[in-house]
Amino acid sequence: MSAEPRPSAETVAVQRRTVGVLVAGQILGGLGFGAALSMGALLAASVSGSDEWSGLAATMTTLGAAAAAVPLARLAQSRGRRNSLAAGAGVAAFGSALVIVAAVIGVFPLLLVALACIGVGSAANLQARFAASDLAQPSTRGRDLSTVVWATTIGSVVGPNLVGVGASLARTIGIPELAGPFVFAIVSQVLAVVLYLVALRPDPLLTSLAGAASAAIRPGAVPAEPHAHAGIGLRFAILSVALSHAVMVAVMAMTPVHLQHHGASITVIGLTLSLHIAGMYGLSPVFGILADRLGRIPVIILGQALVLAALLVAALCSDDSFAVGVGLVLLGLGWSASTVAGSALVTELSPASRRTRYQGITDLLMSLAGAVGGALAGVVLAFAGYAGLAFGCITLVAIVVVAAVVVRGRLGGGLGGVSGRAPAAQP
């Protein structure tokens, strides 16, 4: 396997600036999505007049993200990441404004449409991690990608904490208190649009595609031969991201219900979820560095081991709130390792001309898997309990681990690691 060409100083500088812009954009985008996550269910219950409809808030944002994943990827391919990310943030800003309108006039279907639009912004936030890998070298791709994932922590933590200030602002301007945080969401998403359009220059994806095209027509250039089993590796990478997300959403969504049934206070439930989110994002750069040094597939297996440990703790110690909290932290860490390494592997095994398409498919299936996992989790919880849900999710972990062993054997240990450019899958 040939060594990766040493990047020019200009490329390194552009990549460093690109990651910085994406980090800032993730923080702004996270503020808006954090508001939807914290207030969406309460608004749905308030506007609809029934708690039974509150779950549709998360469903609509998830479906909005799923519906936008492939279109945003296509836009990135044709017009660049700059326009794609700005478009996603712009639709989210519009959705946030529409939430306020729906809350004022009390129209529930309009609120659902608005929340789906906010989900489009979530899809853009997911795409940003791939934008960080466009100009990255294989030896730093995992690190750069995971740095952008890490930035999500700031917005996700700060967003829900704007609820009190948002309520005060809502009273001042004469809108429902629950809609107040969405004023901040509008501002943050508009700032994200301006940031991407102004600062994300040169566009990382278009620059990468231009460089690949120039290399292909260079005199004496020899086209890279695709690995015979690279397509299998690509499908595995997408599968690992999707199933890891399904397990995470299924268990995370049912944990508050389980803890509440066992007498846990709102404070304990909130702390447990906060620690889970910290596990999801806080150590993602560590997993990115490990993926660069050890290889993508070994870190995916590490992630599955952490998820398995989380499920066993949740299943065997389901009556202990502290143990459940430990399990949720482990679950977040496992999700982080699998998502960072899996996303890097998707990028490396995709042919340059269709890379954004496969990245979009990855995010589409990731969102759909989360939606299905969350929907089925409630049914499983009702019939088998929290321990039964955890044991059932172990099946999905086993599928990923077995697939990882098979794929690693076929592709060879070096593929997806740092020993050179990973061969692309056949288009």
Claim to verify: residue 175 and residue 82 sit in the same structural domain: yes
Range of the domain at 179: 1-210
Claim to verify: residue 192 and residue 285 sit in the same structural domain: no
333: domain CATH number is 1.20.1250.20
Claim to verify: residue 297 and residue 247 sit in the same structural domain: yes
Record the tokens describing residue 149, joined without a space: 């994932």
Claim to verify: residue 359 and residue 400 sit in the same structural domain: yes
Claim to verify: residue 190 and residue 69 sit in the same structural domain: yes
Claim to verify: residue 8 and residue 53 sit in the same structural domain: yes
Q: Which of 117, 152, 151, 131 is nearest to 34 (CA)?
A: 152
**Is there a domain that residue 215 lies in?**
no
**Is there a domain that residue 411 lies in?**
yes
Claim to verify: residue 52 and residue 28 sit in the same structural domain: yes
**Is there a domain that residue 101 lies in?**
yes
**Is there a domain that residue 188 lies in?**
yes
Burial status of residue 231 (CB atoms within 10 A of its CB: 0-12, 13-18, 19 or more): middle
Domain finish residue from 210, 236, 267: 210
Domain finish residue from 210, 235, 262: 210
Distance CA 45, CA 55 (A): 9
Decide: 128 and 145 in contact? Cβ < 8 Å: no
Decide: 205 and 83 in contact? Cβ < 8 Å: no
How many angstroms separate the Cα of 78 from the Cα of each of 1, 27, 84, 203, 403? 31, 26, 9, 12, 33
Claim to verify: residue 173 and residue 264 sit in the same structural domain: no
Domain finish residue from 210, 245, 267: 210
pLDDT tens for the 427 residues of the chain, in order: 345 567 778 888 999 999 999 999 998 887 766 666 667 777 888 898 876 677 677 778 889 999 999 999 999 999 999 999 999 999 999 999 999 999 999 999 999 999 999 999 989 999 999 999 999 998 899 999 999 999 887 776 676 667 778 888 889 999 998 888 899 889 999 999 999 999 999 999 999 888 766 655 555 544 454 555 678 999 999 999 999 999 998 898 888 888 878 887 767 877 787 788 888 988 999 999 999 999 999 999 999 999 999 999 999 998 898 999 999 999 999 999 999 999 999 999 998 888 999 999 999 999 999 888 888 888 888 889 999 999 999 999 999 999 999 998 877 654 444 433 444 444 4
Claim to verify: residue 185 and residue 295 sit in the same structural domain: no
Q: How many domains is the chain built from? A: 2
**Is there a domain that residue 217 lies in?**
no
Helix or strand (DSSP H, E) at 47: helix 9-48
**Is there a domain that residue 216 lies in?**
no
Claim to verify: residue 250 and residue 380 sit in the same structural domain: yes
CA-based end-to-end distance of the chain = 21
Claim to verify: residue 337 and residue 426 sit in the same structural domain: yes
Q: Which of 245, 244, 269, 229 is nearest to 406 (CA)?
A: 229
Claim to verify: residue 51 and residue 139 sit in the same structural domain: yes
**Is there a domain that residue 221 lies in?**
no
Record the tokens describing residue 89, joined without a space: 């943030």
**Is there a domain that residue 138 lies in?**
yes
